[in-house]
Amino acid sequence: MKAIEIGADLLEPAMDAAIRLDYLKDLPGFGLVIKVAQASRSVSDFILLAKMEGFAEGMGEVDRAELAAFAAKIDAEPEFGKRIGKLLLGSLHAFNDFEKTPILGKIYRSFVLGEIGFDTVRRLSNAVNLAVVDDLTALYSAHPDSKVMTEEARADFVTSLHALRITGLASLEDTAFAFVGRNSYIGTAVAPLGTEFIRIMQSK
């Protein structure tokens, strides 16, 4: 009975998601899953569509010419296209938090626009999967050098950095100092991958 209730609750937003995702249907892997999920009564397919709605929100509106150019490039390299589709659909399935899906959308947008390569997409997708979404938000929204940052906010930022070491977005550095109140100690720094993540998430 619970599965039936969940499926009914997800049906309307999932179908809305499919409509919003129409402009993405030509991208690797997504056209097929939209068609399958629309025709299915599977709760897992409805959940995937709901996740894809978040993905579309994060990706935002991309110029049709940009999308067409990207699709043409993938069409010329079908095996590469399959790798992209498998990675992104696998990531969406794996995410245990719906709030991560808009983040993946922004990463994919940067890829479509040619700002990052496939290797970076793969590393960032894995990092997002491993992280707690609150720590990811702290990474790209906090400004530890800001004079207006409160002591509590700075402490939270340092805590998030430590938690993100397992993702590759942050790393333990002998030369990095974390400041909390009047105390300073050797701590964790934003890694190059984390710097790229911040740039993507703060981009318009």
Query: In this predicted structure, what is the pLDDT of residue 141?
Result: 82
What does the radius of gyration of the chain's CA atoms come to, in whole angstroms? 19
At residue 87, the pLDDT reads 87
Going by C-alpha positions, the residue among 91, 90, 89, 113 that lies closest to residue 100 is 91
d(Cα 204, Cα 60) in Å, to the nearest integer? 10
> Which DSSP helix (H) or strand (E) runs through 180?
strand 170-180
Check residue 10 and give its pLDDT: 41
Q: Indicate the burial class of 135 (C-beta count within 10 angstroms; 0-12, 13-18, 19 or more).
A: buried
pLDDT for 5: 38
What pTM, to 2 d.p., does this model score? 0.76
Query: What does the pLDDT read at residue 132?
Result: 95
- Measured in Å, how far apart are the chain's first and last C-alpha atoms? 43
Give dist(CA 25, CA 28) in Å, integer: 8
Please report the pLDDT score of residue 145 as a whole number: 56
Could you say which residues of the chain have pLDDT below 50? 1-15, 180-186
Supply the pLDDT for residue 133: 95
Under DSSP, the state recorded for 22 is: G
Residue 60 backbone class (left: φ over 0; alpha: ψ -120 to 50; beta: rest) = left
Q: What is the pLDDT of residue 3?
A: 37
